[in-house]
Amino acid sequence: MKTAGFDGPDLSVSIAGVRFRNPVIAASGTFGYGSEYEGLLDIAELGGICTKGLTLKPRRGNSGVRIHETPSGLMNSIGLENPGIPAFLERELPRLRSLGPVVIANLSGSDRDEYTGGAALLDTSSVDMIELNISCPNVKAGGMQFGLEPAAAAELTAAVRKAAARKPLIVKLSPNAPDLAGVARACVNAGADALSLVNTFQALAIDIGRRRLVFDNTTAGLSGPAIRPLALRMVWELWEALREPPAHKGTLVPIVGMGGIASPEDALEFLMAGAAAVEVGSATFAHPRLMNEITAGIADYMAGRGIAAVGELSIRKR
Ligand SMILES: Cc1cc2nc3c(=O)[nH]c(=O)nc-3n(C[C@H](O)[C@H](O)[C@H](O)COP(=O)(O)O)c2cc1C
């Protein structure tokens, strides 16, 4: 039944001035550079694609076990294996660009200079946005080290903001930060246009047969349904924290929520908690078409209730 004056839901969302056809984005590290999934789902129907973490120099990633399943979750220790930003721009970006969704480059580095060097290259490229990864728990230098303390996060955000002045900047936060709201505020004040969360939770596994640690790097990052209620709580609390002064020029910075989303209902929870869009990661491995189904499920939910715009799903009041 159609509600009077309602022409069906508009799924598009705008984040930092970039328009997404819908709020469902492939999460970094779980969708390669897009083309790996061609034929497995309707890629053009995604809102956006976030690349695997990119560094200025190529990286081989971590040795030993890289993926380990847990009840309702996944532990990974990939260590940011990637071909380096110059090779990404030359070999992967043209194809990724042609797929249709918004292209978000996930940027990482070992130190400030590697981050800013990478940012400068991305700034001159055709990527739509940068997601600054200050939250990777699986590398010895850089990554999460920048995301745990407000001062370090602000310094790096400001430097990357300057190096990539033309690109909208999302900063991806770590759930392992003791003061998540403090880090978030520091990033916003240093120039972040949007925030995304959560990256993986630092976790440990022991192989009792071999009486050894499962991962060469000791800990690994936990993702999947096991973390969803925790991630949802963090999105909820961050939304609240960002309303408090010193908010970003009096406006709410958009939040991209993720962590364990595996159904339309899960995605709706994040949108209701105040997220402007969602990223879907681990669940895609088991169910490549899932993101298309999540988008359809959100559309059905909105159509059934006469909800015209994604922003109206939020149960938070500005
Ligand atoms: C195998 C794997 C690789 C990942 N690589 C990256 C990465 O390179 N950069 C990044 O910011 N996040 C990375 N992540 C984190 C995801 O983007 C996401 O933040 C996290 O997995 C939570 O979402 P999920 O529970 O839907 O997977 C990775 C996750 C997995 C499972």
Give pLDDT tens digits for 236-274: 999 999 886 554 555 689 999 999 999 999 999 999 999
Per-residue pLDDT at 227: 98
CA of 50 to the centre of ligand 1 (A): 10
H/E run at residue 299: helix 290-305
- Nearest alpha carbon, ligand 1 atom 14: 29
Question: Token pair for residue 174?
Answer: 């770590």
CB-ligand 1 contact for 143 (6 Å cutoff): no
- CA–chain centroid gap for 126, Å, is 19
CB-ligand 1 contact for 137 (6 Å cutoff): no
DSSP state of 37: G
Neighbours of 87 (CB within 10 A): 13
pLDDT tens for each residue of 71-95: 999 999 998 999 999 999 999 999 9
Residue identified by tokens 């936990």 is: 222
CB-ligand 1 contact for 258 (6 Å cutoff): yes
User: Is the bond leading into 253 cis (omega within 30 degrees of zero)?
Assistant: no
Mutate to test the pocket of ligand 1, among 282, 291, 294 (most ligand atoms within 8 A of CB): 282
CA–CA separation, 87 and 91 (whole Å)? 6
Per-residue pLDDT at 60: 94
CB-ligand 1 contact for 144 (6 Å cutoff): no
State whether the Cα torsion 18-250-276-25 is positive or negative.
positive
Which residues of the chain fall short of a pLDDT of 50?
1-2, 247
Residue identified by tokens 């990939």 is: 78
* Amino acid symbol at 8: G
What residues does each domain of the chain span?
Answer: 13-313
Q: Mark whether 136 is an active-site residue.
A: yes
Mutate to test the pocket of ligand 1, among 104, 129, 199 (most ligand atoms within 8 A of CB): 199
Per-residue pLDDT at 247: 47
Per-residue pLDDT at 7: 82
Per-residue pLDDT at 5: 64
Question: pTM of the entire structure?
Answer: 0.96
CATH number given to 13-313 = 3.20.20.70
CA–CA separation, 127 and 104 (whole Å)? 6
Neighbours of 21 (CB within 10 A): 18
Per-residue pLDDT at 243: 81
DSSP state of 310: G
CB-ligand 1 contact for 66 (6 Å cutoff): no
